[in-house]
Amino acid sequence: MGWKQKSHSGIVFRARVAQQTPEKLEKLAASMGHLYGGKGKPGALLDLLASGDFVLVPKNATDVIKSVAQLLEETSPSALKLERSRGDATQTIPAGSQQI
């Protein structure tokens, strides 16, 4: 775990990161509206992550989703599936599920 120190506004947390990481986190925090002194507030992102209100999705998430969908397709009875065409692709949707 990184180095910790209590302060009047919470705990100061330090961690070793790549040189460009602090600036990237400040930009991300600012883009989400978490500002302090005109700059992005990376600590707010950590609080959101810890609380579960902010979720990270890995770059390969689409590969994982496709793998899970394929597994479900292979293990689910065909009677429980609905086929729906969308353009040139067909999407399999489990019966009873909602699509947003």
pLDDT tens by residue, 28-70: 999 999 998 999 999 999 999 999 888 888 888 888 888 888 8
User: What was the pLDDT predicted at 12?
Assistant: 85
| Predicted pLDDT at 79 | 42
- What's the Cα-to-Cα distance from 59 to each of 11, 30, 64, 81, rounded to whole Å? 31, 22, 10, 28
Asked if residue 100 belongs to a domain, the reply is no
Which residues form the domain of 80?
A: 61-94
Average pLDDT over residues 78-100: 52
**How many domains is the chain built from?**
2
Do 13 and 32 fall into the same domain? yes
pTM, two decimals, is: 0.53
| 23 domain-assigned | yes
**21-31 helix and 42-51 helix, angle to the nearest 10 degrees:** 70
User: What average pLDDT does the segment 75-95 reach?
Assistant: 55
Is residue 9 assigned to a domain?
A: yes
Which residues partner with 13 through β-bridges? 4
With respect to residue 56, please indicate whether it lies within any of the assigned structural domains: no
pLDDT, the chain, mean: 77
Residue 79 near residue 96 (C-beta atoms within 8 A):
no
pLDDT of the residue at 26: 94
Residues 81 and 45 in one domain: no
Q: Are 12 and 46 part of one and the same domain?
A: yes
